Amino acid sequence: MPVSDHSISAHHPRRIGWLDGVPLDEPGLLAFPGIEILQSETQRTVLKIPPSPARPTLIAKIHRERDPAARLRRLVGWGRARLEWRNLMGAEAGGASVPRPVALACHSDHDVVFSDFLLDTELFPQHLERYRGSRRVAMLRVLGGWLAGVVRAGVDAHDIHTGNILVRGHDADTAHLWLIDLHDARVGLGVPPHRRRAMVRQVAGALGAARAVDDVLHFLQGWGHGARSLGIDRSWARGPDREDESVPWTEVAPALLEETLQAAEASEIQRRRRHISRAFRHRRGAYHQPVNLDGVLQVRRKTRDRRRIGNHSGPGDARAAWFGDRVLQTVWHQKPQATLFIAGRSGICEQVVEKAPAGRSLAWFLREEECKKTVSRCIEAVVATLGRYHHEGIQLEGATPGRWFIEETRDGLEVVPDRSCIRYRGRLSAGMRLADLLQLGAIFDGSVTPVDRLRVLRSHAEFGPLSHSPTALRSLANHLGDLFARSSTTAPEPIRVRGLHSSEGEVDALHRLNQAHVPQLGGLDRPDFEALLRCASLVRVVDAARPEDSAETGPPAAMMVAMRRDDDYDSPNFLWFREGFDNFAYVDRIATAAAARRSGVGSALYAVLEAWARTNEMTSIVCEVNLQPRNQGSIDFHRACGFREVGQKLSHGKPVAMMQKMLTP
């Protein structure tokens, strides 16, 4: 079926046939067989269209203008989709390496840009990690020469960085690079000198700027050669042209190298700060990001009677943990580990649900007799990790040995700090670095002497010059240790929530916990209770608090059993919700041992349930609470968690309140 022209605003004359049989609007594309969603955001969705005998694999970028200013720009012909289309066409005509443009389709509420999908490519940062030594040097010089070609083609890219560059090839000889995301570029008017410098600095900042001097130098060597050979700018290159690994390059003017490093570093720090500060859109509400919820989760909480200190509270605090996770996403492009942040809840001011760190704390290794032989190895790994964080401008505030976690893996020791200790500073003073080192000596049980603590400090190369004054350093270590010893923990310990182990002993323990809460919960015999656990979509358990050095698990402190709307479950209350509500998570039962009440485990379980429901794109959480006998404590708790009554019904001859919490986006 040929393409209808009624929504095609522009197209490439030789490629319009590639869209035969392909829908041109968003609903049609989403329903098209074989479509794959590569990216989904509020203002942009990126789809992969499968190939056919008549077309290669294509990309469809759906642009939606949300704010009034963007809509006005679109109305006068300056919308992001139309700009990207013009830039793609102009860049291709100028000889730049960009995806091949196919067509632009404009609709009443969105626009779609169709272009070629670049098979067998990957982002430049991931591709660069494949190389070491001379091969890495050659690849960076290729990047510099390629950027000179982009400038020569007249592409003034205002958002050019290594994350917008795709690579195909197995070595520098065969590598081919493409520039993507051109909606904010300027094409066809040339690139003035100040914009050339800005583009070079952007790429240098993405490579690491002053934190990766060698990488930036090699990139500039390729840029200098390309700029001189193409007649763009001769000021960067010094000396004759050279060639290594079949890649041409030249020496760079030292003054321009230093200027680029400083400017790129300042720009990268600002970019990171802006990205981190966007962690919260509003002061109150819930913020969610998809995370794999398998394994052990932990919930941090902050009650209303504790004062907030700025945006970052103390170590262990919920808000600080959310920001710390944001820092790791920004600096190292790590996948999110914190899945849900809730602010403004009655009784609990803030909560965060995150993946629990694996392994044991450094404090445990320092105290265990059988681990004494590996202590020096653990400390070396911790100090090396600390140096890596410092290198990126990250301070670890309050990261005492109890907040460093160490796990033995096949590749050696894996060391991670508590995310709530992470603070992005951009540039660290010597005092900040020293404070982080001194914190590693904060062990107060007498098993680690001040002399042992000093060994940690001496192992850090940056503070080698201080070793000539051990008296002053010992005084600092003891003073800071006294401060830690006198201060109390600024936040309660996280509550760890795990899945069901399904062992006979655990099922027995959970059954006893259930029966201890009859009549608030429905009583079940042992086989029926086990069948309920098998039927449930979600079972989460909180173990009783125990010392870190204990290897045994105590009786469960709390449990939660929840269902999806489509689960095969015949509870009358569940069926009542299924008849009138869509896409919900149903809380069949939640029980907390007497010793664990008023410790936050109930709200922690509900926070984990909300994270699970949001990850599975559910729109509400529902449950029922007994009205006879009246369970006032449960009613008050659910109201504090954001539930409201949506009806009443008789259950086994007794009235119950049917409650719902809406999960706003």
Q: What is the reported pTM? A: 0.77
Q: What is the mean pLDDT of residues 144-153?
A: 96
Identify the residue with better confidence: 177 or 552: 177
Say what the pLDDT of residue 442 is.
64
496-662: CATH topology is Aminopeptidase (3.40.630)
Largest CA distance in the chain: 94
User: Cβ(437)–Cβ(460) under 8 Å?
Assistant: yes
Q: What is the CATH number of domain 122-275?
A: 1.10.510.10
More confident residue, 159 or 168: 168
Q: Which amino acid is at 124?
A: F
- What integer pLDDT is reported at residue 225 of this predicted model? 97
Pairing of the two strands 495-497 and 297-303: antiparallel
Strand partners, 644: 660
Average pLDDT of the residues in 183-187:
87
Angstrom distance (rounded) from CA 407 to CA 413: 6
According to the model, what pLDDT value does residue 548 have? 53
Query: Does domain 8-116 match CATH 3.20.20.220?
Result: no
- pLDDT above 60 for 456: no
Determine whether 63 is exposed, middle or buried from the number of CB atoms within 10 Å of its CB (0-12, 13-18, 19+). buried
Segment 127-142 shows an average pLDDT of: 93
- Mean pLDDT (the chain, rounded): 86
Question: What is the model's pLDDT at position 452?
Answer: 59
CB-based contact 401:443 (threshold 8 Å): yes
Cα separation of 547 and 532, whole Å?
A: 32
Residue 475's pLDDT is what?
A: 56
Phi, psi of 341, deg, nearest 5: -120, 130
pLDDT digits (tens, 9 = 90+) for 329-381: 999 888 899 999 988 655 567 899 999 999 999 888 877 767 767 777 888 88
pLDDT of 641? 87
Q: Binning pLDDT at 50, 70 and 90, where does residue 84 land? A: very high
Where in the chain are the domains? 8-116, 122-275, 285-355, 360-486, 496-662
Which pLDDT does position 280 carry in this prediction?
Answer: 78
Cβ atoms < 10 Å from Cβ of 655: 13
pLDDT digits (tens, 9 = 90+) for 275-298: 998 887 666 688 888 898 989 999
pLDDT band, very low/low/confident/very high, at 484 (cuts 50, 70, 90): low
What pLDDT score was predicted for residue 304?
63
Residue type, 138: A
Tell me whether residue 467 is exposed, middle or buried, using C-beta atoms within 10 angstroms of its C-beta: 0 to 12, 13 to 18, 19 or more: exposed
| Residue 196: band (very low, low, confident or very high) from pLDDT cuts 50, 70, 90 | very high
pLDDT band at 306 (very low <50, low <70, confident <90, very high): very low
> Residue 161's pLDDT band (boundaries 50, 70, 90)?
confident
**Which of 28-32, 96-100, 179-183, 552-556 shows the lowest per-residue confidence on average (mean pLDDT)?**
552-556
Interaxial angle between packed helices 430-439 and 470-486, expressed in degrees from 0 to 180 and rounded to the nearest 10: 60
- pLDDT at 550 > cutoff 70: no
Interval 528-539 mean pLDDT = 94
How many CA atoms are closer than 13 Å to the CA of 374, on its beta-carbon side?
17
Looking at 192-201, 283-292, 427-436, 462-471, which range is the least confident one? 462-471
Q: Are 426 and 273 in contact (CB under 8 A)?
A: yes
94 backbone dihedrals φ, ψ, rounded to 5° = -80, -5
User: pLDDT tens digit string along 625-651?
Assistant: 989 888 888 899 899 888 999 999 988
Q: What is the DSSP string of 310-376?
A: SSS-STT-HHHHHHHHHHHHHHH-PPP-EEEEEES-SSEEEEEEEEPPPSEEHHHHHH-GGGGGGHH
DSSP 97-140: --PPEEEEEE-SS-EEEEEE--TT-EEHHHHHTT--HHHHHHHH
Residue 45 predicted with pLDDT over 50: yes
What share of the chain has pLDDT > 70, as a percent?
86
Confidence (pLDDT) at 4: 46
